[in-house]
Amino acid sequence: MTFANPWGLLALLAVPAILVIHLYQRRFPTLVVAGMHLWSVETRQSQAGRRRERLPVSTSLILECLAAVLLAALLAGPRIGEADRVPHLIIVLDDSASMSAQSDGHDPRAAAVSEITRRVEAASRGAVVSLITTGVRPSMLVGPAASWDDARAALARWSPQSPRHGFESAWDLALQLATPEASVLFLTDVVPESKSLPERLEIVSLGERVENLAIEASRWTFDPQAGRGELFVRVKNFSERVQATDLVGTRDQTELFRKRISVPAGGSESSLFELPGGVGQVTVSLGGRTSNNSEANRPGDGLRLDSVVDLVEPKSRLVTVAVTLPEGMGAGRVKRVLEALPAVQMGGVEAAHLVIGPAGERPGESESRWWLGIGPVSLEAARREAAKDLLGPYLLEKGHPLLEGVVLGGVIWGGAQSGLANVTPLVSSGETPLLARLTGTRTVGYLLNIDLARSNLPEAPDWPILLTNLIELRRAELPGLARWNYRLGETVRFRLYEGAIDPQAEGSAPLTLIHNGVTRAVPRGPTVELTGTNDPGLYVLREGERELGRFAMQFNDLEESDLRNLKVGAKAAQVAGASELEVESHYSWWLLAGIVVVLGLLLGDYRSLAPRGVGVGVGVK
């Protein structure tokens, strides 16, 4: 016998306390009566005082001791043998989208639920279940150690739709829940080929080879000048036969386009559609199905998830640039590149997101305005010093996004000055910074230490690349969403406002994210990172009642869409023991019955001590 709470046995100290009370019980004054034959032994009273007498074994003493012993047993919680150990089924579920594939009545997800049901019913009564789903971050679907009713309800809501991912982290989590000698069950659609599978892992594969058509790629671009956009869609055929289907685009149940396509075996078919501006969002599907279509998959298309994509119309994020360079310092060469870039407009300094001016005019302290200085830092010094025409080699900080694609091969760098202070070099020659990031200022500023009139950089391919990188870096820091269409697994980040500090953060309305009618709160901050966007479809971001924007998550995973390698299989665990869990006693009626018995003993004790009516004659001495 074991005890769930051994400290409860301390309540047995009440037994000697009861014995002491009965040994040294309080007595009453003497009463003189007319006849002693009217008094029985039970009504005999001890003489007053503290003298110990022989312990009277009375009904009250027995009842009180029994009550104390029973209460101590109830507090200690006795456990007899293995009566309070129940089977613990620890199961890892493959949450990959291929587990949702269907063909000719075969459904790996339904088969996994049936396998779990069979194992729970085969276990003894009272078995508990822990269900873990795989993913980039594994999660506990139900448990740990949940009842079968709770597990069954969680399985009814389980909808595997994750892109391809590793299983190791989910296996580790499951093995932490199991006892050292127990195995863990992994339900999937193909047995992993890894040679480092855990010894305690039992694998059951429930997959079946299925043909599939998938939307391999989708991209929506918008031209603000033309006022229209283009939608590109490519469909992949994962089968050994030619498949024909309709490619349909809808908006609020209104059909925008339909095209009959024929996809070759193992190949792809691309399509391009022109859409007017203002459409807002489009649902593209194969065969005209929608994302919430509950109909069975048609032959040759085993996975519904990759047959539907939602797309949000891209917005034009204009970057306003003010060029304050004099004409003799290369203003025309700067404007020529900027005018060729999309979503860039020229404007005044006050409304500009980026100011490009002379290097000698240092920027102010604006957090919402970037600055690029071009030319000699000091004109006087430039006149005094001999011209420095640098031929390289140049040292580039290749990890900086401003220099992505920049090589400076064959570039002659003229008019460079030395002795620049408060800068972090990005491009340098020896100890001379040529392109640097300003430090010690709240403005994001860059310095291009060059005389464009004496350099061939404006004629080199690096010149438009450099300015384009700068514009795109500035565009990425504008408030609002930078993109509107993402793949599952990508992180959605955006700036909520300009600057480093939100001036109205405390008084602003709360941020919320809405998906499929479910609303959840989003933490505020200068940069917002949205998590929990693991389901495909449309998401709406709100600040109070005001809509900040909407975006779509798409399922695009060619490896997961290829269902031709799925098959039934199994791998037995090298450790075949079953996990058990010690739980609190299911027989709570024992505790209730014990309390009732204790109350009965206390009631009997009270009745045994209650005075009885005795007819006596009392006289006064």
**Packing angle of the helix pair 462-476, 331-340 (nearest 10 deg):** 60
The neighbour count for residue 209, using CB atoms within 10 Å, is 14
Confidence band, pLDDT 50/70/90 cuts, at residue 445: very high
CATH number of the domain residue 539 falls in: 2.60.40.10
Q: Is the full-model pTM beyond 0.75?
A: no
Tell me if residue 83 falls in helix, strand or coil.
coil
As given in the structure block, the two tokens for residue 201 are 């892992």
Cα within 13 Å of Cα(254), Cβ side? 6
Q: Which residue has the higher pLDDT, 256 or 124?
A: 256
Q: What is the pLDDT of residue 61?
A: 76
Tell me if residue 489 falls in helix, strand or coil.
coil
As given in the structure block, the two tokens for residue 569 are 């299989």
Residue-wise over 3-36: b if at least 16 C-beta within 10 A, else e? eeeeebeebeebbeebeeebeeeeeeeeeeeeee
Asked if 177 and 139 sit in the same domain, the reply is yes
Please say which residue of 410, 445, 476 terminates a domain.
Answer: 476
CB 552 within 8 A of CB 281: yes
Q: What is the pLDDT of residue 289?
A: 55
CA 599 from chain centre, in angstroms, equals: 52
Confidence band, pLDDT 50/70/90 cuts, at residue 50: low
Residue 295 falls inside a structural domain = no
Give dist(CA 603, CA 609) in Å, integer. 10
Q: Which residue has the higher pLDDT, 13 or 79?
A: 13
Q: Strands 254-263 and 243-251, how do they pair?
A: antiparallel
SS (H, E, C) 109-171: HHHHHHHHHHHHHHCCCCCEEEEEECCCCCEEEEEEEECHHHHHHHHHHCCCCECCCCCHHHH
Residue 23 falls inside a structural domain = yes
Asked if 451 and 396 sit in the same domain, the reply is yes
Asked if 412 and 432 sit in the same domain, the reply is yes
Residue 236 falls inside a structural domain = no
Residue 501 falls inside a structural domain = yes
- The amino acid that residue 81 corresponds to is G
Residues of the chain above pLDDT 70, percent: 83
Asked if 37 and 169 sit in the same domain, the reply is no
Q: What is the pLDDT of residue 179?
A: 84
As given in the structure block, the two tokens for residue 457 are 């950089």
Give dist(CA 289, CA 291) in Å, integer. 7
Residue 223 falls inside a structural domain = no
Asked if 16 and 156 sit in the same domain, the reply is no
> How confident is the prediction for the chain on average, in pLDDT?
83
Q: What is the pLDDT of residue 620?
A: 42
Q: What is the pLDDT of residue 465?
A: 96
Q: What is the pLDDT of residue 306?
A: 92
The mean per-residue pLDDT over the stretch 57-73 comes to 80
Residue 110 falls inside a structural domain = yes
For 479, which DSSP code?
B
Indicate the range of 156-170, 448-462, 556-570, 586-600 predicted with least confidence. 586-600
Asked if 390 and 456 sit in the same domain, the reply is yes
Tell me if residue 234 falls in helix, strand or coil.
strand
Asked if 411 and 454 sit in the same domain, the reply is yes
Asked if 67 and 8 sit in the same domain, the reply is yes
Residue 198 falls inside a structural domain = yes
Q: What is the pLDDT of residue 313?
A: 94
Please tell me the total number of residues recorded for the chain in this structure: 621
Asked if 575 and 498 sit in the same domain, the reply is no
Asked if 593 and 505 sit in the same domain, the reply is no
Does residue 291 have a pLDDT over 50? Answer: no
Confidence band, pLDDT 50/70/90 cuts, at residue 136: confident
SS (H, E, C) 332-374: HHHHHHHHHCCCEEECCCCCCCEEEEECCCCCCCCCCCEEEEE
Q: In this structure, what are the phi and psi dihedrals at residue 145, rounded to the nearest 5 degrees?
A: 60, 55
Domain count for the chain = 4
Asked if 497 and 570 sit in the same domain, the reply is no
Q: What is the pLDDT of residue 295?
A: 44
Q: What is the pLDDT of residue 44?
A: 54
Does residue 105 have a pLDDT over 90? Answer: no
Asked if 118 and 70 sit in the same domain, the reply is no
The mean per-residue pLDDT over the stretch 204-224 comes to 92
Residue 415 falls inside a structural domain = yes
CB 306 within 8 A of CB 215: yes
State how far the alpha carbon of 464 is from the alpha carbons of 62, 476, 485, in Å.
Answer: 101, 18, 27
Domain residues for 434? Answer: 319-476
Does residue 181 have a pLDDT over 80? Answer: no
The mean per-residue pLDDT over the stretch 350-373 comes to 87
Cα within 13 Å of Cα(97), Cβ side? 27
CATH number of the domain residue 108 falls in: 3.40.50.410
CATH number of the domain residue 424 falls in: 3.40.50.880
The mean per-residue pLDDT over the stretch 596-614 comes to 70
Does residue 507 have a pLDDT over 60? Answer: no
Report the Cα–Cα distance between both ends of the chain, in Å, rounded.
63
Indicate the range of 29-38, 57-66, 132-141, 486-495 predicted with least confidence. 29-38
Does residue 391 have a pLDDT over 90? Answer: no
